[in-house]
Amino acid sequence: MGHEVIEPGATLGMLGSGQLGRMFAIAARRLGYRVHVLSPDRDSPTGQVADLEVTAAYEDLEAVAQFARGVSVVTYEFENVPAPTALEAARHAPLRPGGHVLEVTQQRVREKSFLRDAGIPVTPFWPVDSRADLDAALTTSGFPAVLKTAGGGYDGKGQALLRSMADVEAQWPAFEGIESILEAFIDFTCEVSVVGARGLDGTFVSYGPIQNSHANHILDISFVPAAVDARVATEAVEIARAVLEELDVVGVLCVELFVTRDGRVLVNELAPRPHNSGHLTIDAYVTCQFEQQVRAVCGLPLGAAEALRPAAMANLLGELWANGEPRWDRALELSDVKLHLYGKAAARPGRKMGHLTALGGTPEAAVARVLEARSVLPRPS
């Protein structure tokens, strides 16, 4: 498959039907593409804006084959696409980013080993397959350390902070028999992410570091520009470039990084897709992360990843619905705030239902504005 451009008017295939797929579909439609989506869900965030929603299990390889035959390229919005599904799709249409990218990024030991072997700075880690492995690793790492399952976890699921042997005794039963990884606990000053895009011709662009803060292991606020010095910013982007080049990514990939107290930049994890922290690119950049994903997987030139203004994003989680539908008009009275809702049917605590974005003269002003908008949403109990 040479470097033919998949021209607007063609049909793009998306595996996974959450909000990332939805925002991809919106960007694709602006460029004149059709979008088909496959997932186990009906009336999904992506399905609501796609031309065709295929409801099938990822394990239904006949459905996957039929889906892939009906599109010009297949991409995905979550990294836990089963390997057989990715392989089957790739037999019938180009899969971008490629299956090897999924294979590396959906398993933490493989991901960390890949980064270390590529000479990319990564948090110290030890594979853990048994209690003996864990005890041996802890003699090297010391406390505190973080124990994580090697596969599947996101938003803080499948991980435990170990501060003492008492924590080990309490937490180990949940990990026993599951392939796991122990990671050094990093005393970081901040967490940043670099969303990068790489074209079919190897061109790379990134949005520079986006600064993130979490609540209960779920991303809460992101803002740009990040409060890091120029050296750290440059290093973060160079690390991201190296990751996308080493993995031969065609598409979008987010590199999540820790900035340590002594100014080192270390990779925490990779997400081979657009990322929650990059949602502010929709309103604050010349080309958003989802349009870059469309451009990259279609073999088009990438767009300018230039910021228009400082900006901040705040996630809207299901708990905002505790006393009924949030008061959207109240938030939108702040007329410079942008509302993005994902079309999810049921609001559950911790579930990402939408986000708000505010632009400002400074990142601090944008953060203050977006927090103000979010604070007026809940109905009083």
Does the pLDDT value for residue 324 go beyond 50? yes
> Which pLDDT score is estimated for 3?
63
Taking residues 310-320, what's their average pLDDT?
A: 98
Q: Which helix (H) or strand (E) holds 116?
A: helix 108-117
Instruction: Give the list of residues 6+ apart from residue 135 with CB closer than 8 angstroms, or none.
Output: 168
Q: Positive or negative CA dihedral for 230, 233, 239, 243?
A: negative
Q: What percent of the chain has pLDDT over 90?
A: 95
Q: What single DSSP character describes residue 344?
A: -
Which residue range is the domain that position 367 belongs to?
188-375
| Backbone φ and ψ of 299, nearest 5° | 75, 15
Domain limit, last residue, from 138, 160, 184: 184
Domain limit, last residue, from 166, 184, 202: 184
DSSP state string for 175-230: HTTS-EEEEEPP-EEEEEEEEEEE-TT--EEE---EEEEEETTEEEEEEES-S--H
Taking residues 78-91, what's their average pLDDT?
A: 95
Residue indicated by tokens 């948090």: 123
Flag whether 4 is in a domain. no
Does the pLDDT value for residue 155 go beyond 90? no
Does the pLDDT value for residue 257 go beyond 80? yes
- Dihedral Cα 160, 81, 267, 280, nearest 10 deg: -100
Whether 366 and 241 map to the same domain: the answer is: yes
Paired tokens of 329: 């008009």
Flag whether 234 is in a domain. yes
Domain limit, last residue, from 74, 95, 116: 95
Whether 270 and 205 map to the same domain: the answer is: yes
Whether 91 and 193 map to the same domain: the answer is: no
Summarised one tens digit per residue, pLDDT across range 199-237 is: 999 999 999 999 999 998 899 999 999 999 999 999 999
Amino acid at 68: A
> Distance between CA 61 and CA 80 in Å, rounded?
16
> Which pLDDT score is estimated for 1?
44
> Distance between CA 167 and CA 171 in Å, rounded?
6
Whether 213 and 290 map to the same domain: the answer is: yes
* CA 166 to chain CA centroid, nearest Å: 33
Find the length of the chain.
Answer: 381
- Work out the mean pLDDT of the chain and round it to a whole number: 96
Count, in order, helices (H) and strands (E) of the chain: 12, 17
Flag whether 269 is in a domain. yes
Does the pLDDT value for residue 297 go beyond 60? yes
Reported as a pLDDT band with limits 50, 70 and 90, residue 158 is: confident
Summarised one tens digit per residue, pLDDT across range 7-59 is: 999 999 999 999 999 999 999 999 999 999 999 999 999 999 999 999 999 99
Whether 228 and 357 map to the same domain: the answer is: yes
pTM: 0.96
> Which pLDDT score is estimated for 151?
87
Strands (E), the chain: 11-15, 34-39, 52-55, 73-76, 125-128, 145-149, 159-162, 180-184, 188-198, 204-206, 210-215, 218-224, 251-260, 265-271, 311-317, 337-341, 352-359
Number of structural domains the chain divides into: 3
Whether 75 and 201 map to the same domain: the answer is: no
Flag whether 40 is in a domain. yes
Strands (E), 16-149: 34-39, 52-55, 73-76, 125-128, 145-149
> Distance between CA 111 and CA 103 in Å, rounded?
9
- What count of other Cβ atoms lies within 10 Å of the Cβ of residue 32? 10
